[in-house]
C-alpha cells in the first residue's frame, strides 16, 4: 500500500522542531497496510495526575494517520489535512511506552479514514481513535 521507497529514517526526519519531536513520538514500522509508532509515557505526556494525557494519545493517533495519508498521496499536487478525530480512552498508563498502529478504513480520492489503536508495553488497549483526513489540492 505504501510506496516502496518509504523509509523510517526519512519519515522520522520530520520530527525536529515540532510537537512530534517534543513528545518523543517515533515512527517504528511500516507494514503492508499499517504505520506504527511509539511515544514515551513520561513528564512530557503526563496529565497532572501522573497518567498519560488523553491529548497526547490523540496527538500520537493524528500523527500516525496524518503521516500514513501523506505517504499515499502525490505530495506535489495535494495536502492531507486532519478533518476530524475522535478517541475513546480505555485505560490509564503511568509509565513506559505506548505504541500506536494506524490502519486504513477508507482510502478515497478526497478523503482517508484511519483506525488507530494505541496499546501499552503490556499490549493492553489504551486508546482507540478514528481519524478522517481531507485530501485537498495545492494552490498553484
Q: Residue 100 burial by CB count (10 A; 0-12/13-18/19+): exposed, middle or buried?
A: buried
**Cell numbers representing residue 14 in the block:** 520530520
DSSP secondary structure letters along 15-53: GTTSHHHHTT-EEEEE-SS-EEEEEEESTTTB-TTSSB-
62 catalytic, yes or no? yes
Active-site residue, selected from the candidate residues 9, 62, 84, 95: 62
- Residues tagged active-site: 62
Amino acid at each position: 500500500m505504501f510506496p516502496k521507497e518509504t523509509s523510517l529514517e526519512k519519515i522520522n526526519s520530520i520530527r525536529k522542531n515540532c510537537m512530534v519531536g517534543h513528545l518523543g513520538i517515533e515512527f517504528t514500522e511500516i507494514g503492508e497496510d499499517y504505520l506504527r509508532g511509539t511515544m514515551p509515557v513520561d513528564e512530557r505526556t503526563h496529565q497532572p495526575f501522573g497518567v498519560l494525557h488523553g491529548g497526547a494519545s490523540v496527538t500520537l493517533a493524528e500523527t500516525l494517520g496524518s503521516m500514513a495519508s501523506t505517504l499515499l498521496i502525490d505530495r506535489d499536487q495535494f495536502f492531507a489535512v486532519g478533518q476530524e478525530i475522535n478517541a475513546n480512552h480505555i485505560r490509564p498508563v503511568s509509565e513506559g511506552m505506548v505504541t500506536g498502529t494506524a490502519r486504513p478504513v477508507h482510502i478515497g480520492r478526497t478523503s482517508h479514514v484511519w483506525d488507530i489503536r494505541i496499546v501499552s508495553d503490556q499490549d493492553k488497549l489504551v486508546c482507540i481513535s478514528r481519524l478522517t483526513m481531507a485530501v485537498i489540492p495545492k494552490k498553484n
